[in-house]
Amino acid sequence: MAFLQSINKKGQADTVFEVLITVILLSFVLVVGSYAMSSLSDSKCSKEIDISMRSFSQALVKTASSPLASQYFLFDLPYCFGSAATVSLVLMQDQYICNHYCPGSLGSCFLLKYSNPKDPVAPLRYVCVNISSITNVNTSCPGSPVTDYSAATGTADNTSIDKGKYYISSQSISTPTLCIYKMDDT
Cα 67 to Cα 104: distance, rounded to the nearest angstrom:
23
pLDDT in tens, 74-127: 998 888 887 778 899 999 998 889 999 998 888 889 999 999 998 888 899 999
Instruction: Render pLDDT for 159-172 as a digit per residue (tens, 0 to 9).
Output: 889 889 999 998 87
Residue 163 within any structural domain of the chain: yes
Q: pLDDT value at position 43? A: 83
Q: What is the pLDDT of residues 16-38, one digit of tens each?
A: 878 888 888 777 777 777 666 66
pLDDT band per the 50, 70, 90 thresholds, residue 131: confident
Strands 109-115 and 158-160: unpaired
158-160 and 164-171: which strand pairing?
Answer: unpaired
- Residue-averaged pLDDT of the chain: 83
Asked if residue 148 lies in contact with residue 106, where contact means CB atoms within 8 angstroms, the answer is no
Range of the domain at 55: 36-183
Q: Supply the pLDDT for residue 3.
A: 46
Total domains in the chain come to 1
